[in-house]
Structure formats: C-alpha cells, structure tokens
Amino acid sequence: MRVFIAVGLMCLVGTGFDATAQTSPPARLPLTAATPLPRDGTYVANENLTFVVDHRDGHARLRFDRGEEVFYLSSEAAPLGGRVLKYDTGAVALQVTGWGGVTLYTAAAKGGVPAEYSDVVQNVDPAPVGAKDVRPFAGKLAQELSGQDDFAIGFVAPWDDLAQSDSLRTLACDAMRNATYALLELAKTTKRALLTDRLHIIKVAAGEKPGATVQRGILTVTYAPQGGPSARPSSLAIVRVLQAAF
C-alpha cells in the first residue's frame, strides 16, 4: 500500500501537478483598467442617440450629437474593474463594465440603455469663440431663447476681460451656452411661464467655484478660472437651481 501511494505521488509530480494548487485562493480580477474607461470614441444608443466620449485632465468628457455642450464627468470605481461616470449633479451618466460594455442613462431612460461603440473619436470641443465674437455669441444665444420660447433675456459678462483671455473666454462661453440649454429644457415644462415672466438677465462671472444662483430676476452663473476647463456648471446643474427658484 505504501509503495502504491508513493508511486502515485511520483506520477503526479512527473506530470506537473501542484499538490498545493487546489487550496490556493483564486486570482483576483484587476480593479482598474489599463486604459481609461470608456474608451474614446463615438457611441450609438437606441440607434438614434449618438454621443462622443474622450478624456482630458483626469475627466471623461461627453458630448451628444444634438448639441454643443460638453459634460465633464467624474469617475468612480465599480465592481470587477468597471467604472461609474457622473455628471456634476451627481446623477449617473454612464456605467462601464471592466471589459468595456457601456450603458447610457438619460432622463428618458432612467433604467439605462446599452450603447455600442461605433467609430473613432470625433472632436468633442465646440468651435472656439474669438475675442471679437464674444458679444455676438451671447447675442445669438439671446436670439435663440427669444425665437424659440419668447424669453426676453440679455447676457451680462466682463466682456473686456474675456476678449483678452482664451481660457476665461472658453469658460464664460460654456457658461452662457449651458445656461441657454437649461432654459430651453425648462421651457418644455410648466415652469415656462414663470421663467419668461420673471427671468430677464443671465450674468456670467468668475468666482471661487462653479455654480449658479437666482436673485431678483437675475440668473448668475459662476465659473472658476483656477479650476480648469471643467470649472463651470452644466446645464443640468443650472436646471436644478432654476427649478428650486421658480
């Protein structure tokens, strides 16, 4: 009997069997991806909603093909190496599995819809606004609000400062654009009459942190120059402020 056991063990050793393998703990999956998730590129959800994702300065950036707003998303770890990406409101925008599967969350699809990678990344940034074009840019946004939903709104900003600084101009123009999108979105709701009646000025100014406030018929949208290109509130954040104020 002893000879049989010894010979059996020798045979197992000879075939490369590791007697300790059965009791070793299973290897863990990596918790972080080798490359940022989701990968840069163009995605399609529900065959009619296209969006582009890229990464800059530690943020994932998201832009839908139906507008020019660029959303800067924060990223959190998810199980099995995945990521959860959120808007500046804290709402989930994208969920990504460790192997790259992407789910998009919107107001119309709160349960999420799968998004398929379609193409290489396109340009996420909208066309830059030149130093001489800041006022006309603001005037065009005011005309859009007036023409679509009868808003009588004007923009106030430090025009001379914006003309002299590319970075300030980009932040301020983003803030104006995002405020416009917020108002156009709320015009589809029961808040429209109150907004058109009581809100007449959008003031864009630099501050210590990005945000928005409403006081005496003035919507003030603040950008933070020291915070980089993401330091201005999204249209979603501005919508929340307006909903609370009206």
CATH number assigned to the domain comprising residue 96: 2.40.128
Note whether 67 and 95 are same-domain residues. Answer: yes
Share of the chain above pLDDT 70, in %: 86
Rounded CA gap, 166 and 156, in Å?
A: 18
At 201-232, the pLDDT tens digits run 999 999 999 999 999 999 999 999 999 999 99
Number of domains in the chain: 2
pLDDT band at 122 (very low <50, low <70, confident <90, very high): confident
Residues spanned by the domain of 99: 41-119
- Give the span between the Cα atoms of 154 and 164, in whole angstroms: 22
Q: Does residue 137 sit in the same domain as residue 220?
A: yes
- Window from 97-101, 169-173, 241-245 with minimum mean pLDDT: 97-101
Considering only CA atoms, which of 135, 246, 224, 239 is closest in space to residue 179? 239
What are the tens digits of pLDDT across the range 36-47?
A: 789 999 999 988
Do 69 and 154 lie in a common domain? no
Residues 113 and 138 in one domain: no
pLDDT band of 108, cuts 50, 70, 90: confident
Among 62, 86, 119, the domain boundary falls at 119
Residue type, 71: F
Prior bond to 26 cis, omega within 30? Answer: no
Clarify whether residues 79 and 179 are in a common domain: no
Domain-embedded: residue 140: yes
Could you tell me if 109 and 147 lie in one domain? Answer: no
Q: What Å distances lie between residue 109 and 6, 49, 92, 112, 133, CA to CA?
A: 65, 12, 11, 5, 37
Owner of token pair 């919107």: 106
Q: Are residues 135 and 230 in the same domain?
A: yes
Q: What is the pTM of this model?
A: 0.84
- Both 145 and 230 in one domain: the answer is yes
**Helical H runs in the chain?**
2-14, 134-149, 159-164, 166-186, 192-198, 235-245
Evaluate whether residue 126 is within a structural domain.
no
Torsion of CA 174, 159, 151, 109, to 10 degrees: 10
